[in-house]
Amino acid sequence: MRPEQVTDPVAFHAEGPVWSERWGGLRWVDMMAGDVLSLAEGGSLRRVKVGQVAAAVRPRRQGGAVIAIERGFVLESADGTLTRLPEVWSDPEVRMNEGACDPQGRFYSGSMAYDQRPGGGTLYRLDPDSNIRPVVDRVTVSNGLDWSPDGSIAYYADTATHRIDVFDYDGERGLTSRRPFVDLSAEALRPDGLTVDAEGAVWVALSNGGAIRRYTAAGKLDVIVELPVRKVTACTFGGPGLDQLYITTSREGVPPGDDPLAGSLFKVVVGRVGRPVLDFAG
């Protein structure tokens, strides 16, 4: 499997790719630039500034998007109008980082301290009525989150732990019974964004490993996709048949002149298919 480079290095720290038919293609974020990027079917690229930080984006059922920004959330309407919700916290040393929606249409995004101090972040949930509540505390680098096809399991990466964890999940009780799913500490690998395919397997980006890995629902490694970039940040399935894996990369912390393709978007056909993205009900 040879990944195809889709764009030039258009982002400093690209993250969170999402495919939605509502958008007619792919969106992802250039996180530290505060921009949401869109790739149309014809290959044209569009960039929209949403704040100092653009941490995560998901489609809204009524059109537009929900976006996690530095210290809270923005709602984008179908016509592109942006409405900023009240800040969740005031500490300028903490920012949002990555997110996803649950099967009930609630949007989660987790925070982290800029200096990545241990336990400095929290995973928050934005409900359709705009109520915001913390759901997991004492996280360090809150990152990839997605649900199993039947909605009974959620997978979550706190990058600093070198683990992907798994929660039991139902709509009433939320995330419960957290436990390790895959432990990468022996390899000193850092799990970043992740997505779950139609078979229930987890595809995870390795932010210091230059690759995407697929783990079955039993936690067995069965696919490795190597990238020509060391800092691989996230992945999602897209295309009309949801059979193309789109992959974002970063040049954050990369010395000038090193890793010339860092910040590019890639795609690869992996012989598996994804699922339609879970959207925000608000």
Helix (H) or strand (E) holding 73: strand 72-76
Task: List, for residues 116-170, the tens digit of each pLDDT value.
Answer: 999 999 999 999 999 999 999 999 999 999 999 999 999 999 999 999 999 999 9
116: amino acid identity, one letter: Q
Q: What is the pLDDT of residue 220?
A: 98
CA distance 29 to 11: 8
Q: Are 49 and 59 in contact (CB under 8 A)?
A: no
Mean pLDDT of the chain: 96
- 208 assigned to some structural domain: yes
Q: What is the pLDDT of residue 43?
A: 77
Give the total number of structural domains in the chain. 1
Q: What is the pLDDT of residue 243?
A: 97
- Residue 15's pLDDT band (boundaries 50, 70, 90)? very high
- Residue 104's pLDDT band (boundaries 50, 70, 90)? very high
Cα end-to-end distance, the chain, whole Å: 39
23-50: average pLDDT: 92
Task: Evaluate if residue 44 carries a pLDDT over 80.
Answer: yes
- Residue 24's pLDDT band (boundaries 50, 70, 90)? confident
- 277 assigned to some structural domain: no
- Residue 36's pLDDT band (boundaries 50, 70, 90)? very high
Q: What is the pTM of this model?
A: 0.96
CA distance 191 to 41: 30
Share of the chain above pLDDT 90, in %: 95
- Domain coverage including residue 133: 4-239+246-269
Domain CATH code at residue 221: 2.120.10.30
Active site residue 35: no
74-78: average pLDDT: 97
- Residue 40's pLDDT band (boundaries 50, 70, 90)? confident
- 278 assigned to some structural domain: no
Q: Are 15 and 34 in contact (CB under 8 A)?
A: no
57-66: average pLDDT: 96
CA distance 122 to 142: 7
Q: What is the pLDDT of residue 22?
A: 87
Catalytic residue among 30, 192, 197, 279: 192
Residue 4, classed as helix, strand or coil, is: strand
CA distance 232 to 144: 12
- 167 assigned to some structural domain: yes
Residue 88, classed as helix, strand or coil, is: coil
- Residue 110's pLDDT band (boundaries 50, 70, 90)? very high
184-212: average pLDDT: 97
- 126 assigned to some structural domain: yes
| Listed residue (118, 126, 131, 135) closest to 100, CA to CA | 126
Contacts 24+ apart (CB under 8 A), 252-256: 252/12, 252/13, 252/32, 254/230
Task: Evaluate if residue 264 carries a pLDDT over 90.
Answer: yes
Q: What is the pLDDT of residue 112?
A: 97
